[in-house]
A = this chain, B = another copy of it.
Amino acid sequence: MKKYYAGLDLGGTFVKGGIVDEEGKILVKDKIPTGRERPYTEIAADMARLVKDLAVRADLAEGQLAGVGIGSPGLIDAENGVIVYSNNIRWENVPLCGAVREQLGVPVCITNDANAAALGEHFCGAGKKFGSMVFITLGTGVGGGIILDGKLFEGNRSAGAEIGHMVIERGGWQCTCGRRGCFEAYASATGLIRRTRESMEAHKESAMWKIAGSLEGVDGRTAFDGMRAGDAAAKQVVEEYISCLAEGVTNLVNIFRPEAVVLGGGVCAEGETLLAPLRAAVEPHLFGGAEYAPVAIVAASLGNDAGLCGAARLAMQRAR
Protein backbone atom coordinates (compact mmCIF):
# COMPACT_ATOMS: atom_id res chain seq x y z
CA MET A 1 0.00 0.00 0.00
CA LYS A 2 1.43 3.34 -1.09
CA LYS A 3 2.11 5.80 1.73
CA TYR A 4 1.27 9.50 1.73
CA TYR A 5 2.23 12.40 3.97
CA ALA A 6 0.51 15.64 4.87
CA GLY A 7 2.49 18.87 4.97
CA LEU A 8 1.18 21.89 6.87
CA ASP A 9 2.64 25.36 6.49
CA LEU A 10 1.53 27.45 9.46
CA GLY A 11 1.57 31.18 8.82
CA GLY A 12 0.28 34.23 10.62
CA THR A 13 -2.64 34.57 8.18
CA PHE A 14 -3.21 31.15 6.59
CA VAL A 15 -2.47 27.51 7.22
CA LYS A 16 -1.59 25.85 3.93
CA GLY A 17 -1.81 22.10 3.67
CA GLY A 18 -1.25 19.39 1.10
CA ILE A 19 -1.03 15.63 0.63
CA VAL A 20 2.31 14.61 -0.87
CA ASP A 21 3.46 11.26 -2.20
CA GLU A 22 6.93 9.74 -1.80
CA GLU A 23 8.06 11.20 -5.12
CA GLY A 24 7.19 14.72 -3.98
CA LYS A 25 4.02 15.11 -6.02
CA ILE A 26 1.29 17.21 -4.37
CA LEU A 27 -2.04 15.35 -4.82
CA VAL A 28 -4.28 18.04 -3.34
CA LYS A 29 -3.70 21.25 -1.47
CA ASP A 30 -5.74 23.96 0.19
CA LYS A 31 -5.55 26.70 2.78
CA ILE A 32 -7.62 27.89 5.73
CA PRO A 33 -7.41 31.09 7.82
CA THR A 34 -5.12 30.71 10.84
CA GLY A 35 -7.22 32.81 13.21
CA ARG A 36 -4.09 33.34 15.24
CA GLU A 37 -5.79 35.16 18.11
CA ARG A 38 -7.55 31.91 19.17
CA PRO A 39 -6.31 29.32 21.69
CA TYR A 40 -3.79 26.95 20.10
CA THR A 41 -6.05 23.95 20.68
CA GLU A 42 -8.62 25.40 18.29
CA ILE A 43 -5.98 26.10 15.67
CA ALA A 44 -4.62 22.57 16.10
CA ALA A 45 -8.13 21.17 15.65
CA ASP A 46 -8.55 23.16 12.42
CA MET A 47 -5.18 21.92 11.19
CA ALA A 48 -6.22 18.33 11.87
CA ARG A 49 -9.55 18.90 10.10
CA LEU A 50 -7.71 20.31 7.09
CA VAL A 51 -5.56 17.17 6.93
CA LYS A 52 -8.61 14.88 7.18
CA ASP A 53 -10.42 16.86 4.51
CA LEU A 54 -7.40 16.74 2.17
CA ALA A 55 -6.98 13.00 2.78
CA VAL A 56 -10.59 12.44 1.69
CA ARG A 57 -10.16 14.62 -1.38
CA ALA A 58 -6.98 12.71 -2.28
CA ASP A 59 -8.96 9.49 -1.93
CA LEU A 60 -6.57 7.97 0.61
CA ALA A 61 -7.55 4.63 2.10
CA GLU A 62 -7.46 3.95 5.84
CA GLY A 63 -3.82 3.78 6.97
CA GLN A 64 -2.35 5.39 3.87
CA LEU A 65 -1.63 8.67 5.65
CA ALA A 66 1.68 7.76 7.29
CA GLY A 67 2.55 11.04 8.95
CA VAL A 68 2.11 14.79 9.20
CA GLY A 69 4.80 17.48 9.14
CA ILE A 70 4.40 21.10 10.19
CA GLY A 71 6.48 24.11 9.21
CA SER A 72 6.01 26.91 11.74
CA PRO A 73 7.44 30.36 12.33
CA GLY A 74 9.44 30.92 15.49
CA LEU A 75 11.88 28.96 17.60
CA ILE A 76 10.92 25.30 17.46
CA ASP A 77 11.93 22.51 19.80
CA ALA A 78 11.70 19.85 17.09
CA GLU A 79 12.55 16.96 19.37
CA ASN A 80 9.63 17.66 21.69
CA GLY A 81 7.27 19.04 19.06
CA VAL A 82 6.94 22.39 20.80
CA ILE A 83 6.85 25.95 19.49
CA VAL A 84 9.10 27.61 22.07
CA TYR A 85 8.07 31.03 20.94
CA SER A 86 6.82 32.81 17.88
CA ASN A 87 6.52 36.56 17.42
CA ASN A 88 4.33 35.97 14.46
CA ILE A 89 1.56 34.00 16.20
CA ARG A 90 2.45 35.21 19.73
CA TRP A 91 2.83 31.74 21.15
CA GLU A 92 5.08 30.51 23.93
CA ASN A 93 5.77 26.84 24.70
CA VAL A 94 2.89 25.51 22.65
CA PRO A 95 2.93 21.67 22.28
CA LEU A 96 1.42 21.83 18.79
CA CYS A 97 2.54 18.41 17.55
CA GLY A 98 0.84 16.62 20.43
CA ALA A 99 -2.38 18.58 19.92
CA VAL A 100 -2.55 17.71 16.22
CA ARG A 101 -1.51 14.08 16.79
CA GLU A 102 -4.35 13.59 19.29
CA GLN A 103 -6.87 14.40 16.58
CA LEU A 104 -5.28 12.32 13.84
CA GLY A 105 -3.58 9.34 15.44
CA VAL A 106 -0.54 9.49 13.16
CA PRO A 107 2.99 10.76 13.92
CA VAL A 108 3.31 14.54 13.71
CA CYS A 109 6.63 16.36 13.48
CA ILE A 110 7.58 20.01 13.21
CA THR A 111 10.36 22.33 12.11
CA ASN A 112 10.92 26.01 11.52
CA ASP A 113 9.21 27.42 8.39
CA ALA A 114 12.48 28.31 6.65
CA ASN A 115 13.80 24.81 7.36
CA ALA A 116 10.62 23.32 5.91
CA ALA A 117 10.99 25.41 2.75
CA ALA A 118 14.64 24.35 2.46
CA LEU A 119 13.69 20.70 2.75
CA GLY A 120 10.91 21.19 0.20
CA GLU A 121 13.23 22.79 -2.36
CA HIS A 122 15.70 19.99 -1.75
CA PHE A 123 13.10 17.26 -2.07
CA CYS A 124 11.33 18.36 -5.22
CA GLY A 125 12.43 21.87 -6.16
CA ALA A 126 15.55 23.73 -7.26
CA GLY A 127 17.80 21.77 -4.90
CA LYS A 128 16.72 18.34 -6.09
CA LYS A 129 19.97 17.42 -7.81
CA PHE A 130 22.22 18.39 -4.91
CA GLY A 131 23.37 16.44 -1.87
CA SER A 132 23.95 19.52 0.23
CA MET A 133 22.52 23.01 -0.03
CA VAL A 134 22.12 26.30 1.75
CA PHE A 135 18.65 27.79 1.35
CA ILE A 136 18.24 31.53 1.87
CA THR A 137 14.90 33.36 1.80
CA LEU A 138 15.03 37.04 1.03
CA GLY A 139 11.77 38.35 2.46
CA THR A 140 10.77 40.64 5.30
CA GLY A 141 13.73 39.01 7.05
CA VAL A 142 16.38 36.58 5.90
CA GLY A 143 15.60 32.99 6.79
CA GLY A 144 17.72 30.00 6.13
CA GLY A 145 17.81 26.26 6.05
CA ILE A 146 20.81 23.99 5.74
CA ILE A 147 20.67 20.56 4.10
CA LEU A 148 23.62 18.26 4.70
CA ASP A 149 23.62 14.77 3.20
CA GLY A 150 19.96 15.18 2.34
CA LYS A 151 18.91 16.05 5.88
CA LEU A 152 18.10 19.23 7.74
CA PHE A 153 20.86 20.56 9.93
CA GLU A 154 19.24 22.41 12.83
CA GLY A 155 21.89 22.61 15.57
CA ASN A 156 21.42 21.91 19.25
CA ARG A 157 17.71 22.13 20.18
CA SER A 158 17.03 23.34 16.62
CA ALA A 159 18.44 26.77 17.50
CA GLY A 160 21.03 26.85 14.69
CA ALA A 161 20.91 27.74 11.00
CA GLU A 162 20.15 31.36 11.97
CA ILE A 163 22.07 32.61 8.99
CA GLY A 164 20.18 35.91 8.82
CA HIS A 165 21.80 36.96 12.06
CA MET A 166 25.38 36.61 10.91
CA VAL A 167 27.01 40.04 11.20
CA ILE A 168 28.64 41.10 7.94
CA GLU A 169 29.23 44.71 8.91
CA ARG A 170 30.36 45.24 12.46
CA GLY A 171 28.53 48.21 13.99
CA GLY A 172 26.42 48.56 10.83
CA TRP A 173 22.66 48.82 10.31
CA GLN A 174 20.48 48.03 13.32
CA CYS A 175 18.83 44.61 13.06
CA THR A 176 15.51 43.67 14.66
CA CYS A 177 17.41 41.01 16.65
CA GLY A 178 19.34 43.58 18.64
CA ARG A 179 22.70 43.17 16.92
CA ARG A 180 24.05 45.60 14.39
CA GLY A 181 25.12 44.77 10.85
CA CYS A 182 23.33 41.43 10.43
CA PHE A 183 23.09 39.87 6.96
CA GLU A 184 19.29 40.21 7.33
CA ALA A 185 19.47 43.98 7.82
CA TYR A 186 21.09 44.31 4.37
CA ALA A 187 19.89 41.37 2.30
CA SER A 188 16.19 41.23 3.24
CA ALA A 189 13.54 42.96 1.13
CA THR A 190 13.25 45.30 4.12
CA GLY A 191 16.95 46.19 3.75
CA LEU A 192 16.54 46.72 0.03
CA ILE A 193 13.56 49.01 0.64
CA ARG A 194 15.54 50.99 3.22
CA ARG A 195 18.42 51.41 0.79
CA THR A 196 16.03 52.41 -2.00
CA ARG A 197 14.38 55.08 0.16
CA GLU A 198 17.73 56.47 1.32
CA SER A 199 18.84 56.78 -2.28
CA MET A 200 15.56 58.48 -3.29
CA GLU A 201 15.96 61.05 -0.55
CA ALA A 202 19.51 61.74 -1.76
CA HIS A 203 18.46 61.81 -5.43
CA LYS A 204 15.30 63.85 -5.88
CA GLU A 205 15.72 63.55 -9.67
CA SER A 206 15.71 59.75 -9.64
CA ALA A 207 13.23 57.84 -11.77
CA MET A 208 12.46 55.80 -8.66
CA TRP A 209 10.16 58.62 -7.47
CA LYS A 210 7.97 58.13 -10.50
CA ILE A 211 8.02 54.36 -10.21
CA ALA A 212 7.12 54.20 -6.51
CA GLY A 213 4.94 57.34 -6.38
CA SER A 214 6.22 58.14 -2.89
CA LEU A 215 8.54 56.77 -0.20
CA GLU A 216 5.62 54.75 1.13
CA GLY A 217 5.11 53.18 -2.29
CA VAL A 218 8.62 51.70 -2.39
CA ASP A 219 8.87 47.92 -2.55
CA GLY A 220 11.54 45.36 -3.38
CA ARG A 221 11.07 45.93 -7.11
CA THR A 222 11.43 49.74 -7.17
CA ALA A 223 15.22 49.87 -7.54
CA PHE A 224 15.30 47.00 -10.04
CA ASP A 225 12.61 48.75 -12.14
CA GLY A 226 14.54 52.03 -11.87
CA MET A 227 17.71 50.31 -13.05
CA ARG A 228 15.87 48.87 -16.03
CA ALA A 229 14.61 52.39 -16.81
CA GLY A 230 18.25 53.56 -16.96
CA ASP A 231 18.29 55.41 -13.63
CA ALA A 232 21.82 55.74 -12.21
CA ALA A 233 20.81 55.99 -8.54
CA ALA A 234 18.63 52.88 -8.87
CA LYS A 235 21.50 51.00 -10.48
CA GLN A 236 23.71 51.90 -7.54
CA VAL A 237 21.08 50.68 -5.06
CA VAL A 238 20.87 47.34 -6.84
CA GLU A 239 24.65 47.00 -7.02
CA GLU A 240 25.11 47.77 -3.33
CA TYR A 241 22.28 45.39 -2.41
CA ILE A 242 23.82 42.56 -4.45
CA SER A 243 27.26 43.31 -3.02
CA CYS A 244 25.89 42.84 0.54
CA LEU A 245 24.01 39.72 -0.48
CA ALA A 246 27.23 38.35 -2.03
CA GLU A 247 29.17 39.01 1.18
CA GLY A 248 26.80 36.83 3.20
CA VAL A 249 26.46 34.14 0.54
CA THR A 250 30.26 33.89 0.20
CA ASN A 251 30.58 33.51 3.97
CA LEU A 252 28.04 30.72 3.99
CA VAL A 253 29.61 28.95 1.04
CA ASN A 254 33.05 29.00 2.67
CA ILE A 255 31.56 27.69 5.91
CA PHE A 256 29.36 24.92 4.46
CA ARG A 257 30.77 24.47 0.95
CA PRO A 258 27.45 23.12 -0.24
CA GLU A 259 26.76 21.89 -3.75
CA ALA A 260 24.14 24.59 -4.16
CA VAL A 261 22.82 27.84 -2.76
CA VAL A 262 19.09 28.14 -3.38
CA LEU A 263 17.57 31.60 -3.00
CA GLY A 264 13.90 32.10 -2.26
CA GLY A 265 11.63 34.97 -1.31
CA GLY A 266 10.15 37.88 -3.23
CA VAL A 267 13.43 39.48 -4.33
CA CYS A 268 14.28 36.33 -6.31
CA ALA A 269 11.54 37.11 -8.79
CA GLU A 270 14.27 39.25 -10.42
CA GLY A 271 15.86 36.01 -11.63
CA GLU A 272 19.11 36.38 -13.56
CA THR A 273 19.17 40.15 -12.99
CA LEU A 274 19.92 39.22 -9.38
CA LEU A 275 21.66 35.87 -9.82
CA ALA A 276 24.18 36.60 -12.58
CA PRO A 277 25.96 39.46 -10.74
CA LEU A 278 25.65 37.52 -7.48
CA ARG A 279 27.51 34.54 -8.96
CA ALA A 280 30.15 36.86 -10.42
CA ALA A 281 30.71 38.40 -6.98
CA VAL A 282 30.79 35.11 -5.04
CA GLU A 283 32.80 32.79 -7.28
CA PRO A 284 36.20 34.51 -7.14
CA HIS A 285 36.20 34.10 -3.35
CA LEU A 286 35.43 30.39 -3.09
CA PHE A 287 38.08 28.58 -1.08
CA GLY A 288 40.16 26.38 -3.39
CA GLY A 289 38.47 27.93 -6.41
CA ALA A 290 35.02 27.53 -7.94
CA GLU A 291 36.15 24.68 -10.20
CA TYR A 292 37.52 22.56 -7.36
CA ALA A 293 34.10 22.19 -5.73
CA PRO A 294 31.46 24.00 -7.79
CA VAL A 295 28.55 25.70 -6.07
CA ALA A 296 25.38 26.26 -8.09
CA ILE A 297 23.59 29.50 -7.20
CA VAL A 298 19.97 29.16 -8.27
CA ALA A 299 16.48 30.50 -7.56
CA ALA A 300 13.95 28.44 -5.62
CA SER A 301 11.30 26.86 -7.82
CA LEU A 302 8.39 25.81 -5.60
CA GLY A 303 7.14 29.24 -4.51
CA ASN A 304 4.48 28.98 -1.83
CA ASP A 305 4.43 25.18 -1.98
CA ALA A 306 7.97 24.80 -0.64
CA GLY A 307 6.89 24.85 3.01
CA LEU A 308 4.19 22.21 2.76
CA CYS A 309 6.31 19.97 0.52
CA GLY A 310 9.18 20.20 2.98
CA ALA A 311 6.94 19.60 5.98
CA ALA A 312 5.61 16.46 4.28
CA ARG A 313 9.19 15.42 3.47
CA LEU A 314 10.16 15.79 7.11
CA ALA A 315 7.32 13.45 8.10
CA MET A 316 8.52 11.02 5.43
CA GLN A 317 12.12 11.07 6.73
CA ARG A 318 10.92 10.56 10.31
CA ALA A 319 8.73 7.62 9.31
CA ARG A 320 11.70 5.72 7.85
Residue positions of A touching B, CB distance < 8 A: 75, 84-85, 131-132, 148, 153-157, 159-163, 165-170, 172, 177-179, 244, 247, 250-252, 254-259, 284-288, 292-293, 295
Q: CB-CB < 8 A to A166: which residues of B?
A: 166, 251, 254-255
Task: Give the distance to chain B from A278, nearest Cβ to Cβ, in Å.
Answer: 15
**A293 B256 Cβ-Cβ under 8 A:** no
Neighbour of A168 across the interface among B155, B168, B255, B287, CB < 8 A:
B168
Q: CB-CB < 8 A to A286: which residues of B?
A: 159
Q: State A259–B159 Cα separation when bound (angstroms).
A: 11
A-B contact pairs, 30 of them (CB 8 A): A75-B287, A75-B288, A75-B292, A84-B288, A85-B288, A131-B156, A132-B155, A148-B153, A155-B258, A156-B258, A157-B257, A157-B288, A157-B293, A159-B257, A159-B286, A159-B293, A162-B257, A165-B254, A166-B251, A166-B254, A167-B250, A168-B168, A168-B169, A168-B170, A169-B170, A170-B244, A170-B247, A177-B285, A177-B287, A255-B255
Which residue of the partner chain B has the closest CB to A180? B247
Q: State A293–B254 Cα separation when bound (angstroms).
A: 25
Q: CB-CB < 8 A to A285: which residues of B?
A: 165, 177-179
User: What number of copies of this chain does the assembly contain?
Assistant: 2
**B156 A293 Cβ-Cβ under 8 A:** yes
Q: State A157–B131 Cα separation when bound (angstroms).
A: 12
Q: CB-CB < 8 A to A160: which residues of B?
A: 254-258, 287
Which residue of the partner chain B has the closest CB to A251? B166
Neighbour of A159 across the interface among B154, B177, B288, CB < 8 A:
B288
Q: CB-CB < 8 A to A131: which residues of B?
A: 156
**B165 A167 Cβ-Cβ under 8 A:** no
Q: CB-CB < 8 A to A156: which residues of B?
A: 131-132, 257-259, 293, 295
18 more CB-based (< 8 A) A-B contacts, given A156-B259, A159-B288: A75-B288, A132-B155, A148-B153, A155-B293, A157-B257, A157-B293, A159-B293, A161-B257, A163-B254, A166-B255, A167-B247, A168-B170, A170-B247, A177-B285, A177-B287, A178-B284, A179-B285, A252-B255
Question: Given A168-B167, A168-B168, A170-B169 in contact, is the A84-B159 Cβ separation under 8 Å?
Answer: no
**B172 A256 Cβ-Cβ under 8 A:** no
Which residue of the partner chain B has the closest CB to A77? B292
